[in-house]
Amino acid sequence: MSGNDELNIASVVNRLPIAAAGKPPLGIKEADWWLALILPVIGFLFIELVVESGWGIGVAIFALIFAAGLLVWFRYRGIKPPRGTYGYLAWILLAAASFSLERNSGPQTLLLPLMIMAVPYFVAAACGVRTEGRLGGYLPLDAWDSLLAVPLGHFTSFFAVFGAGVKGKRGGRGVAFALLGVFLTLPAFLLVSAMLSDADAAFELIWLRLGQRITAELAENAFKVLLSIPATLYLFGLLYGTAAREGLAWREPERAAALAGRCRWLPGAMVAGGITPLLLVYIVFFCSQMAYFLNAFRGLLPAGIGYAEYARRGFFELCAVSGINLAFIGLMAFFTRRDAAGRGVEKIYTVALSLFSVGLIMISLRKMLLYIDYYGLTPRRLSTSWFMLFLLLVFVLAVVRLFRPSLNVVKGAVAAGGIMLLLFCYGNTNGWIADYNVAAYREGRLEQLDLSLLHSLGDITTSSLLTVMLDEGIDSGLRDEARHILRQRANTLGRRPEETDWRRWTLAGGRSARLLRDYQEAIYDDYSVPSISR
């Protein structure tokens, strides 16, 4: 596209109502017009493959399509993302690919919104509009710009760019006239079709069947198109506004630094006065409960207290206190004055809060391990332990930063959290829970085996249920219950959502269906066949 064409399109924008209303015209390029043409399709695919996919392989396919289209648009728009920013895109694709492995509502409920929020940040990083040019302490300001300020500030830019492209390009006028022609001749098309139906019975039958199918498809997709409109406008506002470098509230480092300076107003004496009583409470608490808590590390129980009460008593309260301590450390880092007194107070109290928090986390984790040893694994117990490990790492990073100021704590915490979440999703956690509980029960380490829990974990547990059903050393009641669950799953073969809707397919679902077919005779009969291994 030539420079004159760009000026002509920009002049068209100046005459649009949105420009007349006070919105400053931006430099529109041909790539922006093509983006306006393609994004409605992307928005529809988002609803089709992500929102309505049941969280299967459709999420991974959409991520690949969107990433490929985004990179093509970057190249066409003249945007060259820094090499380091591709790590964000790689994380998004890996996270999306995990949806094709199994349906795990626990971590995936957190993973999907994080994936969606990571896209605007990747776009900001690729376009070089972050405040510091890196992931760091200004992450909240960059997130505000990329998630809200830019997309919502350009929420209606789609119409301006599309209208400018249609008016400023000969091909665009042709497309617009063609669509207008279809709209104007639609009544005549329907009238002629109705008259031909009256004239011929065979055509009437064809037209009725075709019309019913078209009507059903239109009714099904009309709502999806309606839902895709906000997604399309948001994505276009994000990409176009970021590429045009307009609407960024905190892009100037000087402005962000000035804001940070104004926030650091708390004197060291005030911080010390506020945190010292909290530390005294911790000291009294640890001293009074020292013997009680140390029993957790020795595996001993206080008199009159069972495993369940001992492990659960105060566990989530200890986790909450650790989270509160982390919040205090963050508040000190952002609001304490940067004079000598302020830095000294921040260092002393950050170390103290971190040490107390590390102690609380270690006690909590040990109590949770005792609980798991006695009652087995559940998704909640595993995810809670995983989160506590993440908190432990964050506290360690906060202490190290005090002695190595060059350490980027935000980047380290985000990277650790992202990697840990991917490991949780790729680690076959539901299958691991089922295998652990079955193995612990067979070895006598668990007194009871909750098969309803295994059933709720989804298709990934089919092999564990088969192990229970085929093990003659297990109580016959449990074997019958496992057989009943497997029969329920086998009765749905051929009608399962994963088999009737390709968007819902997962690797675990496919493997479960194969196992159910292979062991169908054993599931419906009483004799056993050789055991299986995962």
Asked if residues 22 and 35 have their Cβ atoms less than 8 Å apart, the reply is: no
For residues 127 and 532, the answer to whether their CB atoms sit within 8 Å is no
Q: How far is CA 103 from the centre of its chain?
A: 14
Tell me, what's the pLDDT at 19? 36
Using the 8-state DSSP alphabet, how is residue 50 labeled?
Answer: I
Taking a C-beta distance cutoff of 8 angstroms, is the pair 102, 59 a contact?
no
Q: Are 232 and 40 in contact (CB under 8 A)?
A: yes
The one-letter code for the residue type at 144 is W
Determine the average pLDDT of the residues in 131-158.
85
Confidence class for position 398, pLDDT limits 50, 70, 90? confident
Which residues is 175 bridged to in the sheet? none
* pLDDT recorded at residue 93: 96
Is residue 64 within 8 A of residue 93, CB to CB? The reply is: yes
Are 517 and 487 within 8 A, CB to CB? no
DSSP per-residue codes, 410-431: HHHHHHHHHHHHHHHHHTTHHH
pLDDT band at 18 (very low <50, low <70, confident <90, very high): very low
pLDDT surpassing 60 at residue 408:
yes
Does the pTM surpass 0.85? The reply is no
Helical spans, DSSP H, in 127-200: 139-144, 150-153, 157-168, 170-199
Report the C-alpha gap between 399 and 346 in whole angstroms: 11
Question: Is the Cβ–Cβ distance between 484 and 457 less than 8 Å?
Answer: no
Amino acid identity, residue 143?
A
pLDDT of residue 329: 85
Mean pLDDT of 337-349: 79
What whole-number distance in Å separates Cα of residue 440 and Cα of residue 383? 20
Residues 453, 455: Cα–Cα separation, whole Å: 5
The answer, yes or no, to whether residue 177 has pLDDT greater than 80, is: no
Residue type for 363, please? I
User: What is the tens place of the pLDDT at every residue in 446-470?
Assistant: 888 889 999 888 888 999 999 999 8
How far apart are the C-alpha atoms of 164 and 158, rounded to whole Å? Answer: 10
Our CA angle for 237, 241, 243, nearest 5°, is 125
Q: What is the DSSP string of 286-321?
A: HHHTHHHHHHHHHT---TT--HHHHHHTTHHHHHHH
Tell me the one-letter amino acid at 156: T
Query: In terms of Cα–Cα distance, which of 84, 69, 243 is closest to 151?
Result: 243
Distance CA 522, CA 129 (A): 61
Is a pLDDT exceeding 60 seen at residue 13? Answer: no
Report the Cα–Cα distance between both ends of the chain, in Å, rounded: 58
* Mean pLDDT for all residues in the chain: 78
- The three-class DSSP label of residue 105 is helix
